[in-house]
A and B are shown apart, each in its own frame.
Chain A
Amino acid sequence: MRYFIIVLCLSFSHIMVFGQGTKRISDSGAYFNPDISVIVDTYYQQSSGSEGIAHILEEVSGFGHSHGDAGHEHGPLEGLNFREAEVYFSVNIDPSFYGYAIIAAFEEGAHIEEAVIQTTSLPYGLEVKAGKLFSNFGRLNSQHSHYWDFTDQPLIYRLTLGDHGLNDMGLAASYLAPTDFYLLGGIESFQGDNEQMSAYSGEDPLPERLGPRVLAGWLKVAPNLPSKHGLQFGASFGQGVHQEIHDGNSDGTDDHWLDGHNQFWGTDFVYKYDSMKAYGEGDWILQGEYFRKDGDLVVRRHDLVPALVSRHKKDQKDGYYLQAIYGIMPNWQAGLRWEQAGLVNSERLPDGTRNSFAPSNKSSLALTYRPSEFSYVRLQYSNGNYETSGGSENISQISLQLQISLGKHGAHKF
Chain B
Amino acid sequence: MKRIIILIILICGICVICGSGWSDLTADARRQAGEKKLNVLTTTSDLKSITEEVGGKYVSVKSVCEGYQDPHFAEAKPSMIANARKADLFIRIGLELEVGYEPLIIEGARNPKIHIGTDGHLDASDGVSLLEVPTAKVDRSMGDVHPFGNPHYWLDPYNARIMARNISGRLQKIDPTHSTWYQANYQVFIKKIDEAMFGVEASAKISGDKLWDAEISGKLDDLVKQENVALGGWVEKARHLRGMKMVMFHRSWTYFINRFRLIAVGEIEPKPGIPPGPAHLRDLIQKVKSENAKVILTEPFYDRKSSDFVAAQTGASVAVCALSVNGKPEVKDYISLIDYLMDHLLQIK
Contacts and interface: CB of A to CB of B under 8 A. Distances in A.
B275 A330 contact: yes
B16 A124 contact: yes
B303 A181 contact: no
A175 to B, nearest CB: 4
B161 to A, nearest CB: 29
Interface stretch (B106-114, B185-193, B229-237): B106-114
Nearest to B84: A176
B16 A278 contact: no
Contact of B70 (A120, A278, A411): A278
Given A178-B23, A276-B70, A232 B78 contact: yes
Contacts of A358: none
Given A127-B110, A178-B22, A374 B140 contact: yes
Interface stretch (A148-156, A218-226, A389-397): A218-226
A181 to B, nearest CB: 6
B348 interface: no
Contacts of A331: 275
B303 A277 contact: yes
Interface stretch (B1-9, B129-137, B150-158, B166-174): B1-9
A252 interface: no
A414 B110 CA distance: 16
A372 B82 CA distance: 30
Contacts, number: 137
B85 interface: yes
B322 to A, nearest CB: 12
Interface string B7-48: 110011001101110110010000000000000000000000
A230 B64 CA distance: 13
B259 interface: no
A374 B99 CA distance: 14
Query: What DSSP secondary structure best describes chain A's contact surface?
Result: loop
A222 B109 CA distance: 14
B109 A176 contact: yes
Contacts of B16: 124, 126
A281 interface: yes
Contact of A372 (B7, B15, B107, B143): B143
Contact of B275 (A125, A177, A227, A278): A278
Contacts of A184: 78
Contacts of B109: 176
Contacts of B77: 222, 230, 414
Interface in A198-223: 209-210, 212, 215, 217, 220, 222-223
Interface in B228-249: none
B103 interface: yes
Interface of A: 98, 120-127, 173, 175-185, 187, 189, 209-210, 212, 215, 217, 220, 222-225, 227, 230, 232, 272, 274, 276-279, 281, 330-331, 371-374, 410-414
8 contacts: A120-B115, A173-B11, A178-B85, A189-B8, A276-B69, A277-B301, A330-B303, A413-B76
Closest 9 pairs between A and B when the two form their complex, measured CB to CB: A124-B19, A222-B78, A182-B78, A182-B82, A121-B112, A175-B15, A224-B79, A125-B110, A230-B77
